[in-house]
Amino acid sequence: MLAAVCHGKKDLRIDTLAERPLAPGEVRVAVAYGGICGSDLHYYHRGAVGDFAVREPLVLGHEISGTVLEAGPGVRGLTAGMKAALDPSRPCLSCRHCRAGRSNLCTDMWFLGSAGRMPHSQGGFAQHLVLRSDQVIPVPQAADLQRLAMAEPLSVALHAVNQAGSLNGRRVLVTGSGPIGLLTARAARNAGALEVVCTDVEDAPLALAVRAMGATGTVNVRREPEALARFAADEAAFDAASEASGSPDALASIFRVLRRGGRVVQVGMLPPGTAPVPVNLLQSREFEFVGAFRANGEFRLAVDLILRGQVDVAPILSGTYPLSRAVDALELAGDRSKVIKLHLAINEAAA
């Protein structure tokens, strides 16, 4: 069984890995498609994501879909051949955060393709994968597995929207128009946002934002660094914002155009350490600045929205590479002028 394994900075290999038997409650799946995420890029280019360094070989990947190969003892409702959306989160279900309904903050999480714990939590760019049965959501046989491999990033966007509170009738700013930013724009419109303005430093994703992801306006902050300011007059200011770029400058720009009492959701990952925040303004204008980390129950909704076509994720897909060309794909995926989202075709037979 082949997998894309990161052995350290700029050292990705297609290794052959052994299978292991299934424990009760587990399911073996054949992975069809795997999307390349920013964290995969960080592991590949820097050998680390934030503080999490690759200390042993790590299979990358957590945006996946596939088909069931085998169900372990005690598993009900999943049989070989079924197509499935695959949730990369396996929370413990029993820590204080899980019990409080916030399993994305689980202190004993196994999240696919993460060096956050030791031994590492191996990822989904592998032809065969063993999951806990609640990570495997069966879908109709007619479902498009490539779209379903975007259920995970869509779930992150939906979670960012849920962290923003009700957006019904709201004016929303989304800074950064990568996959998460674009899907957040779409999800915000779906949740009733009256206006969604997207920003980026490239024109291509901004054009896509308007054409396919529901944006009502855009600003290229590289070419027009002052353009956001035209929204700063009180009546036009934003009710809420989602920071999806991971850029401290983008974050700073939000606080200048947010109405009093407005809410900022940080979904983009900033580097470890601190970023400057106008705390004086935050206090006197009662801004709310909150984090959004992965997803918390939104995965099934993401699957539903994709299956029903209520969110069309296809426009953000820029290309598909075979697993054997994973290195090429990782090299290309960082070029934001050309690429929004790249997929690996992990396993032709599973697609």
- Closest distance between its own copies and the C-beta of residue 287, in Å? 6
| Contact region with its own copies (CB under 8 A), list: 40-48, 94-102, 145-153, 338-346 | 94-102
277 binds its own copies (CB under 8 A): yes
For residues 299 and 321, which CB has a smaller minimum distance to its own copies in the complex?
Answer: 299
304 binds its own copies (CB under 8 A): yes
Structure tokens at 256: 């200048």
Q: Tell whether omega for the bond before 119 is within 30 degrees of 0, i.e. cis.
A: yes
- Three-class SS state of 34: strand
Q: Which residues pair with 130 in a beta bridge?
A: 28
In DSSP notation, 128-162 reads: EEEEEGGGEEE--TTS-HHHHTTHHHHHHHHHHHH
For residues 128 and 189, which CB has a smaller minimum distance to its own copies in the complex?
Answer: 189
8 binds its own copies (CB under 8 A): no
The pattern of x and - marking residues 221 through 240 that bind its own copies according to CB under 8 A reads -------------x------
Within 13 Å, how many C-alpha atoms sit on residue 208's CB side?
27
- Closest distance between its own copies and the C-beta of residue 145, in Å? 21
| Contact region with its own copies (CB under 8 A), list: 15-23, 119-127, 145-153, 296-304 | 296-304
Between the two ends of the chain, the Cα-to-Cα distance in Å is: 16
- Closest distance between its own copies and the C-beta of residue 207, in Å? 21
297 binds its own copies (CB under 8 A): yes
- Closest distance between its own copies and the C-beta of residue 75, in Å? 13
Identity of the amino acid at 26: E
Measure the CA–CA gap between 282 and 155, rounded to whole angstroms: 28
Say if residues 320 and 342 touch (Cβ distance below 8 Å): yes
For residues 4 and 195, which CB has a smaller minimum distance to its own copies in the complex?
Answer: 195
- Three-class SS state of 304: helix
38 binds its own copies (CB under 8 A): no
- Three-class SS state of 258: strand
260 binds its own copies (CB under 8 A): yes
| Window 63 to 82, contacts with its own copies (CB under 8 A) | none
- Judged by CB under 8 A, the residue of 73, 77, 81, 276 near its own copies is 276
337 binds its own copies (CB under 8 A): no
- Three-class SS state of 263: strand
| Contact region with its own copies (CB under 8 A), list: 34-42, 159-167, 202-210, 318-326 | 159-167
Structure tokens at 126: 């592998």
293 binds its own copies (CB under 8 A): yes
Structure tokens at 232: 């700063």
The conformation of residue 192, written as its DSSP 8-state character, comes to: T
24 binds its own copies (CB under 8 A): no
| Window 99 to 138, contacts with its own copies (CB under 8 A) | 99-105, 107, 134
Contacts of 337 (CB under 8 A, 6+ apart): 202, 204
267 binds its own copies (CB under 8 A): yes
- Closest distance between its own copies and the C-beta of residue 278, in Å? 5
